[in-house]
A and B are shown apart, each in its own frame.
Chain A
């Protein structure tokens, strides 16, 4: 149970609530028993689809009943559907798939995070060869992600539809750009970019490796620009800072130039808000990378230590992480003797 407030009730209210609760239980239980009875009797027909739907409307997580539905669909239309049957707009298969998409959509309205519901939708799209539904499906995920931009089930479903319908990585990158520009704390969108960018710039043939890595590098440098907007808009939002650490590590800076430029931006941010944690943490990390590249001056090494020491005070809950970083590499805690 999540986010259900406990209410203090009078004895009378509690009794009334209990009665209602027990009645709901009995009515659900009757629906569930009816569906199982039809399954036990080997009735894989339209009436069973109805009986299953009644259970799932109350309890969308009821995986065995989704299994029963799939058995019914396969019994009525075939274990896998021939492509021409699925393409027929007025055909029975298309109608069956539409019914599944409508039912799962209704269930998602009640519980947008139900694993079995999302999986059933995935299964239907594959089983029914629902090419006609892909564009609509993509739109649906866009809509649902505008209602809850962090629903990872919906992002997963979107990637599935993107793959089926051959939407380009470029188009998806544009989608994530809209998402992060609308809200820099959309961590799901930053995550997706971390998958899309390397995929877009992967070398198709080995001879093109250098060109591809050059293109990726240019794209990552552009990400640093985007991140600067995020930092100056919402410096306390951790999403962009996690992504920043990844972008810097992917750039694998060797000389000091890039990192010094980055450190300068971070100092500027820090000076605006001296007690803000994230600019300071990112500065310490950039300076650590400078050290790893063998390019840090003594002053820069000292600045890193000073930043980490400040962080111990600013962010005491994570003090031991900063201390481990100070001690040289945030490695595991020493083992204690048993």
Chain B
């Protein structure tokens, strides 16, 4: 099923069957050895299918039931059945439930008690009870709270203060104060600040310049200045572009060249997108490749909310439900959702821009 036209296009049908195939190949080494991050795998696969308009290919009841079975007594979620709760998988669980419109099936207050229990006096978040601290976990906490409509359950001001303390000379952010900037961390920190309503504190011009310099001559993006050559990788399409979108400077790279790079990483025989041309594909990069396409509104991939890393349509639905029926996710004990600044107003604005943008080359 190669594209007939000479113009490269996103191999939608192949990617759909690739995701479904690898998700059910439970006997493979790759499946077994990724057992610790199964919930994140479900998020990548389900979100990728959603962006292809194929979420119905999954058995929603089965997925939701699996996600719920990963919840632990503490309220957090493990990466798999019987695995310890962790911030990373708690966010994945909430994202998957939101994708399937099933957030009401969990007690949001209980999830948030777990998230809040991991916040430390300096505003940072630990990943779990063992105490590893990283701005990735700040993002997880803020994103989780925002999706559940419960930002008031954590100390947002302190969380934002900690993220800002991780800012570097280049305007980017590291894992902890003193840590070097890299594109993945820039996404988590800018995303955290966007959700926390503090995007104004970012040194936007410098950071967006650093981000647009991630584009390599081949069109693909790398994660840090000249780590090695050639070092462009499909997953940075998302990390870099989503941060640039939030800073409203995504036009500072050559979007068409990036699109061609992503498409050159497709496996046109068996589906899936790899990190680099000619490599083996995986679900993670298939998702990140689609997300890169989504941000530029190319290949018919619908817009995505850059801060929450969720399809825009899902976020709109979620916000509408939360506005109409706050008790549904707040479950009884329902203090009104505090509005600190304008949380998530920027991502929302971005969505509207994404929709207004012309769709280039809709696989003609």
A3 with B275: CB separation less than 8 A: yes
Give chain B residues whose Cβ lies under 8 Å from the Cβ of A320.
251-252
Contact check: which of B33, B226, B279, B285 meets A6 at CB < 8 Å?
Answer: B279
B335, chain A: closest CB distance, angstroms:
31
Q: Cα distance A323–B79 when bound, in Å?
A: 46
A316 engages B254 (CB within 8 Å): yes
A25–B27 CB distance below 8 A = yes
CB–CB A123/B32 < 8 A: no
Tell me the minimal C-beta distance from B346 to chain A in angstroms: 11
Tell me which residues across on chain A come within 8 A of B204, comparing CB atoms: 332
Contact of B225 among A2, A242, A321 (CB under 8 A): A242
Task: Knowing A5-B279, A64-B84, A336-B353, say if A119 contacts B132 (CB, 8 Å).
Answer: yes
Q: Is the CB–CB distance between B225 and A123 below 8 Å?
A: no
Q: Which residues of the partner chain A approach B225 to less than 8 Å between Cβ atoms?
A: 185, 187, 238-239, 242
A338 touches B355 (CB 8 A): yes
Query: When the two chains form their complex, are residues B35 and A32 in contact, meaning their CB atoms are under 8 A apart?
Result: yes
Q: Is the CB of A5 within 8 A of B205?
A: no
Chain A interface size range: 35 or more
Cβ contact within 8 Å between B180 and A155: yes
A252 within 8 A of B: no
Q: Which residue of B lies closest to A285 (CB)?
A: B209
| Bound Cα distance from A331 to B278, whole angstroms | 38
Q: Find out whether the CB atom of A318 lies under 8 angstroms from the CB atom of B215.
A: yes
Give complex CA distance A25, B281 in Å.
19
Please measure, in the bound complex, the distance between the C-alpha atom of A187 and the C-alpha atom of B182, giving whole angstroms. Answer: 11
Main secondary structure of the interface of B (DSSP, over half): loop
Enumerate chain A residues within 8 angstroms of B32, measured Cβ to Cβ: 25-26, 28-29, 32
Interface size on B, residues (CB 8 A): 72
- In the complex, identify which listed stretch (A42-50, A55-63, A88-96, A224-232) lies at the interface while the others stay far away: A55-63
Q: How many A-B residue pairs have CB under 8 A?
A: 167
Is B213 interfacial (CB 8 A cutoff)?
yes
- Answer whether residue A309 sits at the interface, using C-beta atoms and an 8 A cutoff: no
Interface flag for A70 (CB, 8 Å): yes
Rounded to whole Å, the gap between the CB of B348 and the closest CB of chain A is: 10
Per-residue B-contact encoding for A1-12, CB less than 8 Å = 1, 0 else: 111111000000
A98 at the A/B interface (Cβ < 8 Å)?
no
Interface string of B230-255 (1 = CB under 8 A from A): 00010000000000000111011110
Nearest residue (CB) in A for B31 is A25
Q: Find out whether the CB atom of B280 lies under 8 angstroms from the CB atom of A5.
A: yes
CB-based contact A150/B224 at 8 Å: yes
Q: Assuming A58-B33, A336-B357, what are 10 further A-B pairs, CB within 8 angstroms?
A: A1-B274, A22-B27, A62-B35, A62-B36, A63-B86, A64-B78, A67-B84, A123-B131, A187-B227, A318-B213
13 contacts between A and B (CB under 8 A): A1-B275, A1-B282, A21-B30, A26-B32, A29-B32, A63-B79, A64-B84, A122-B132, A123-B130, A187-B224, A332-B248, A333-B248, A335-B248
Q: Which residues of B contact A (CB under 8 A)?
A: 27-33, 35-37, 78-79, 82-84, 86, 128, 130-132, 134, 168-170, 174-176, 178-182, 204-206, 208-210, 212-213, 215, 224-228, 233, 247-249, 251-254, 257, 267, 274-276, 278-282, 284-285, 349, 352-353, 355-357
Enumerate the 9 nearest inter-chain pairs by beta-carbon distance, A residue then B residue, closest first.
A338-B352, A194-B169, A317-B254, A332-B248, A246-B169, A25-B29, A25-B32, A321-B252, A119-B132
